[in-house]
DNA sequence: CGACATTTGTACGTATGTATC
DNA sequence: CGATACATACGTACAAATGTC
């Protein structure tokens, strides 16, 4: 009885072996951002595969945001610094294929932003607090006549909060989900008839949030932040889905 | 002045055009999961590109988890049902390349799980509550002598909670981040000397959480849930990073 | 600025193993 | 079992792009 336990053989494509090895080299730090891979012809020698195989591997690595190759570049493909582009892409696909509703996306933002501001209220430095303040001031200044500036300042505020939370994962996800939401409804926001009033109310909300952060009251800041986001986006969410958003407001 | 506003020309590779078109067909629903793409030879005719170009495009689509192709398959590549595999991959890469700490990952789990349980407490159905209860019972039964069964039941519980939250994005992210965390420290958990005591304490915490859910007290359930996760993972987080986790406990 | 070598992007042909009928 | 169609992988070839002198 017993005997050797054989495992099913998983046939693995040649290009996958190439991808694995290059990926390993990058993630282990042996290949740093800005560094170059060998040229395609050099790679086909080192891996003893054909050029098509090398190229298929490079396409996969490129799709994952790890490298970029340009025609004619005498150096090989460039190792890229990390960007959440791949995460962004897969989450966008998720949003479309899994049919994520706007309500779910906004709810996720409320969760992330609420947590980020809670953490920021407790862990922020003075410099980070000042940065948030400047962003809110910029929102206030732009609310009257500069909708684009308002949006940019709003992004800057939430980005500063996410950074102050000290959690890079929260920061990246916040960024990704926000851009997805904005792409879904930026046209509707731009066309809102009472847009200026909305911006002014948003400024007021942000001022309340930052006051709570300054006071170090994390739970209050989180509550206010979620409420502010609800007020800003609820109008674009179907009525029967708003209850799920309100469930986050305590 | 003014005149037409020209946009910078972005040279776009042939394989990218192929990817775009197929992606569009899938995301729009024209190609449903289980459906088949034309064969490679057919695709090279339809797009009037070479075989290599078609194959590079297919590699990218495969890396994004949208299709799968097998050698010899008389039909073309298969359109896959959505899986968070691509999201998982890019988040794992993020964790390695951006050097996410275990503390950040656990903190993110606390945020997601806390929010999921808050929502679940308010939106759950009776059937979902029963499912969570069964999972906790299974944890209790396995705590004495079946560590693998305990882990599986624990996953089942958190998965049931995430589903009951009604937010698919929370569900997917919970799943992805949990598996990343487990891969990082499963060996340490398996080697813990007081493992049985840890499991028993975890069961107690889960029972408290589910009691709060049953009572419909979302904020309490969220607090307990975050506390439970902190107690379970804090030992594996460097001492000087634990404060960031405690900042989430109110 | 232009000539040059190198590299990538793309195309085409071929051989081989495999899945389906 | 054989026939057929397919994906995988290899090799070659040429045009376009890039960096260098």
Per-residue pLDDT of chain A (250 residues; tens, 9 = 90+): 555 665 556 678 999 999 999 999 998 889 999 999 999 999 999 999 999 999 999 999 999 999 999 888 888 899 998 888 888 888 888 888 888 999 999 999 999 999 999 999 999 999 999 999 999 999 999 998 898 999 999 999 999 999 999 999 999 999 999 999 999 998 898 888 888 899 999 999 999 999 999 999 999 999 999 999 999 999 999 999 999 999 999 7
**Which tens digit of pLDDT belongs to each residue from B88-107?**
888 888 888 888 999 999 99
What is the chain B residue with the closest CA to A90? B87
| CATH architecture designation of domain B85-249 | Up-down Bundle (1.20)
Tell me the mean pLDDT in the region B34-40: 90
Taking an 8 Å cut-off on Cβ atoms, the answer to whether A169 and B118 are in contact is no
Q: What is the pLDDT of residue B3?
A: 58
Low-confidence winner among A6-10, A104-108, B18-22, B246-250 (lowest mean pLDDT): A6-10
B8/A119: higher pLDDT: A119
Residue B83: per-residue pLDDT: 86
Q: Which nucleotide is nearest to B39 (CA to C1')?
A: D6
Share of chain B above pLDDT 90, in %: 70
- Domain limits of chain B? 14-79, 85-249
Quote the minimal CA–CA distance from B115 to chain A in Å.
7
A197-203 long-range contacts, CB within 8 A, separation 24+: A198/A232, A199/A139, A199/A142, A199/A143, A199/A147, A199/A150, A200/A143, A201/A231, A202/A139, A202/A143, A202/A154, A202/A228, A202/A232, A203/A136, A203/A139, A203/A140, A203/A143
Show residues of chain B in contact with A97, CB under 8 Å. 26-27, 82
CA atoms of B68 and A178, how far apart (whole Å): 31
**B14-79 to CATH, choices 1.10.10.10, 1.20.1250.30, 3.30.470.10, 3.40.50.2300:** 1.10.10.10
8-state DSSP, A82: P
For strand D, the positions having any atom within 7 A of a protein Cβ are: 4-13, 16-20
Helix A195-215, helix A218-233: angle, nearest 10: 170
Q: Residue B17: CB partners within 8 Å, gap ≥ 6? A: B47
Of the candidates B176, B52, B16, the one whose C-alpha atom is nearest the C-alpha of residue A51 is: B52
Buried b (16+ CB within 10 A) or exposed e, A117-149: bbbbbbbbeeebbebbbebbbbbbebbeeebee
Q: What is the pLDDT of residues B137-157, one digit of tens each?
A: 999 999 988 989 999 999 999
């Amino acid at each position: 009885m017993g005997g050797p336990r054989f495992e099913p053989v998983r046939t693995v494509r040649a290009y996958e072996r190439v991808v694995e090895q290059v990926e390993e080299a990058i993630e282990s730090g042996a290949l740093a951002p800005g560094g170059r891979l060998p040229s395609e012809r050099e790679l086909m020698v080192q891996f003893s595969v054909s050029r098509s195989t090398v190229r298929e591997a490079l396409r996969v690595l490129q799709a994952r945001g790890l490298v970029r190759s340009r025609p004619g570049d005498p150096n090989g493909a460039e190792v890229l610094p990390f960007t959440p582009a791949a995460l962004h892409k897969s989450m966008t696909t998720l949003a479309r294929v899994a049919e994520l509703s706007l309500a779910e996306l906004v709810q996720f933002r409320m969760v992330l932003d609420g947590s980020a501001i809670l953490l920021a209220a407790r862990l922020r430095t003075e410099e980070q607090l000042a940065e948030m303040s400047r962003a809110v001031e910029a929102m206030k200044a732009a609310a009257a006549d500069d909708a684009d500036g308002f949006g940019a300042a709003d992004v800057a505020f939430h980005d500063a909060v996410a950074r102050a939370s000290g959690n890079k994962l929260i920061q990246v996800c916040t960024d990704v989900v926000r851009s997805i939401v904005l792409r879904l409804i930026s046209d509707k926001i731009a066309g809102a008839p009472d847009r200026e009033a909305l911006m002014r109310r948003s400024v007021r909300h942000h001022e309340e949030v930052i006051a709570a952060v300054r006071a170090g009251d994390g739970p209050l800041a989180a509550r206010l932040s979620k409420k502010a986001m609800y007020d800003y986006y609820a109008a674009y969410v179907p009525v029967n889905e708003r209850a799920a958003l309100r469930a986050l407001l305590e």
